[in-house]
Structure 1
Amino acid sequence: MLSSDLLSCGIDRWYPDLRRLTIRSVLVPLPSDFAAYLVADGVVLPGGDDEAGASPAGEEADDESADGSATLALPASFEAVRRAIDDGIERLGGAVFVKLNWSAPRDAAWVLGGSLKCTSSEDVLLLLQSSDRAAHDLTEARRMCEDAAAAGEGGAGVDAAGEPHGFVLALRKWCELQPSREFRCFRGAGGRLLAACQRDRFSHFPELGARRSHDLGLLEAFGRELPSAPARVVWDAYVDRNDKVHLVDLAPFHESTDPLLFEWEELVALDDAAASPPQLRLVAEGHIAPSASIYNGWPQELQQLGQQDLESLIQTAQKAAKSADS
């Protein structure tokens, strides 16, 4: 994957041209000092419980706070960005879903009680500062690109044409989307739809089987409205109750993008093979699995435990509980 492939899938690049096909959004540019603040250790929100650990905007932080812990200076751009976020939320009806150039902080939903619905700048900043996915966008995303990795680049920089690019925060109008109507589609080098699958890979939706051919036809027709660059791309779509298709997001045709119900080897083979009708893959009855989101928010030590170690820990906890009751 080249930097141009990744950058063209950033919402700052595709939203202006495709806004009529997608969810209404407000894009907030993130200055470099604000991006650095988001990936700094600790969560600091002025006006919250952690305010004592923060220095005023634009001032240098002391090496240590009174309790011996490191302090974090708020960036000079903090108030301007926070005002832009609150203004954007108000323009979009009071509630938003957020993402950075490429990724949404889905892994941090636990900090808002399991929801990604944000109604204030405090909600937005708490999600972003708690998310590994957001941190990856800000520090590692471009390292996946062959040309950027060779040049030692990671975050913002310049694109292949020498144009500067940076980070943006996308505020997207909150919509109550039905998981059964979300799909992920894979487009090959010839611009043809190779395959599609339901977006929620952890659930079986019985009604989708009867609609398979119909939904696939809707997705094929919609795919022809998307721009030709990049030639190979992954796009997420939502089909509403009136059979109107809405673009949700774009992602690189690359192994860094989750193939969901496919394997990347399958998709590459389909792209290399002669043209064949696309398929819409669904979760079969009896093949559902627990959502990966149940692990988000666990202490890192627990996530790293093997199955036997985890079972041993559970048994120890159960024994301790019985002893406490006796």
Structure 2
Amino acid sequence: MKVEEVNRCQIQEWYPKFKSVSIKTVIHQLPESFIQYLLDDSGPFLLPASVLNEDALPNRIHNPIEEEDFQVSEGSGDEAEDSPQPSFPELELKIKESIESLGGAVFPKLNWSAPKDSAWISTAGSLRCTSFSEIALLFRASDSLVHDLCHAYDSCQDKSSTRPHNFFLALHKWYPSLQPDMEFRCFIRDQKLIGISQREVTTFYPILLEKKNDLLSLILAFFNNYVRAKFESENYTFDVYITKDERVKIVDFNTWGAFTLSLLFAWDELERIYSEGNDVEFRIVEDRCAVRPGLKTAVPFDYLDTSEGSGWDQFLRSADEEFRQQFAEAGA
């Protein structure tokens, strides 16, 4: 894999090309001072001072044990000077304007990743944000964003740096009605769509059995009409969401292999499908015995290491075998 392939999957790179068929998004370049704030783990957990007096935890039930990590002890005057509360007033005001323009609530992410592992800390228990303070809290509490900040090019043969020159904050418009059963990952090999997988593999959705053929036709037509000629990499994956009125929206692009999850496929299976010249293979969870347990972890869903021989690869293969045995016993 090359650095240019990873860079094409940054949202600030692909979104302008696919804006008309994607979720409405506003993107801001982040100052280096904010990046250093996210990376700084030398002192206490400090949230930025808000120039708008917005509280990142407005409705949280006070629990001294849970919240002690987010409070700064008074200490001496010298200690207070050593840990000044950070502030990013210009960035905060820009983000406030963007959130208002997007309807008052957003889903934030960096160049590649979202802070999925820190959703628990928000008052809503999700990545829904209505202020800069809430975004800063999610980002500062997230370990998964370390991939973007420090390890974006770890799988690249031609890497000369561990991080991009600039970081961007993408604010997706928040849609409360989005359903996880209508999100899918598409696998492209040599600019050919060879596989499609249900995105949320921890749940069985009966409706997918009914609509599978229609969904396949929608996604294949969308790829041919909107993606094939516009995305420059030969090998990659992209995620789509299908609305109630059957419009296809691009959610994200990811690299082929490396840290990207292959979901209901194995990477060697995808290579076989490509080499044999088979038609597009569309996989869904077809019964409750075939769900994939345990994938809701404290690392980003898109960047788990499931490469051949990894711990997750062995786990998933063992889970597959167990499910086959259970299915065979149930049939008997």
- TM category (shorter chain) comes to 0.7 to 0.9
Q: 2:186 touches 2:239 (CA, 8 Å); kept in 1? A: yes
1:11 deviates by: 0.4
Q: Secondary structure at the match of 1:27?
A: strand
| Aligned equivalent of 1:180 | 181
TM-superposed deviation, 1:290 = 4.1
Q: TM-score, normalised by structure 2?
A: 0.76
Q: Residues of 2 paired with 1:174 and 1:193: CA distance? A: 29
What corresponds to 1:207 in structure 2?
A: 207
CA contact (8 A) 2:155 2:258 kept: no
**Superposed CA offset, 1:281-303 (max 9, x none):** 0112122344533768xxxxxxx
- C-alpha RMSD over aligned residues: 2.5
Deviation at 1:265, TM superposition (A): 1.7
CA contact (8 A) 2:187 2:194 kept: yes
Write the distance in 2 (CA, Å) between the matches of 1:15 and 1:274.
33
Is the Cα–Cα contact under 8 Å of residues 143 and 154 in structure 1 kept in the other structure? yes
Alignment of 1:137 onto 2:148: yes
Q: Note the alpha carbon deviations across 1:37-70, whole angstroms, 9 max, x for none.
A: 112125321256957579xxxxxxx99725xx97
Pick aligned residue for 2:164 from 148, 156, 169: 156
Range 258-267 or range 12-21, more displaced: 258-267
CA distance in structure 2 between the aligned counterparts of 1:79 and 1:261, rounded to whole angstroms: 44
TM-superposed deviation, 1:254: 2.0
Distance in 1 (CA, whole Å) between partners of 2:85 and 2:163 is 21
2:97 counterpart of 1:87: yes
Aligned mates of 1:63, 1:261 — CA distance in 2: 56
Q: TM-score, normalised by structure 1?
A: 0.77
Contact in 2 for aligned 1:12/1:27 (Cα 8 Å): yes
Aligned to 1:197: 197
Q: Equivalent residues in 2 for 1:193-272 (5 A)?
A: 193-224=193-224, 225-226=226-227, 227-271=230-274
Aligned match of 1:283: 285
**Structure 2 residue aligned with 1:44:** 46
Q: Partners of 2:270 and 2:82 in 1: how far apart?
A: 47
CA shift in 2, pair 1:53/1:249, >3 Å: farther
Residues 260 and 72 of structure 1, relative CA distance in 2, 3 Å threshold: farther
1:20 is matched with 20
Q: Secondary structure at the match of 2:290?
A: coil
Amino acid at match of 1:140: H
Contact 1:255-1:264 within 8 A present in 2 as well: no
Fraction of identical pairs, as percent:
33
* 2:60 paired residue number: none
1:194-225 deviation per Cα after TM superposition (whole angstroms, max 9, x unaligned): 10011101000011112111111111111121
* Deviation, structure 1 residue 134: 1.3
The alpha-carbon distance between structure 1 residues 295 and 155, as it changes in their structure 2 partners (threshold 3 A), is closer
Counterpart secondary structure, 2:205: coil
Residue 147 of structure 1 aligns to a residue in which SS? Answer: coil
1:65 aligns with 2:79: yes
Alignment length (residue pairs): 272
User: Unpaired runs of 5+ in structure 2?
Assistant: 56-66, 300-332
Gaps of at least 5 residues in structure 1 are: 55-61, 158-165, 297-326
- CA–CA distance in structure 1, aligned partners of residues 84 and 266 of structure 2: 42
The correspondence of residues 106-121 of structure 1 with structure 2, limited to 5 A, is 106-112=116-122, 113-121=124-132
Q: Do the aligned partners of 2:117 and 2:297 also contact (CA within 8 Å) in 1?
A: no
Q: Distance in 1 between matches of 2:264 and 2:296?
A: 17
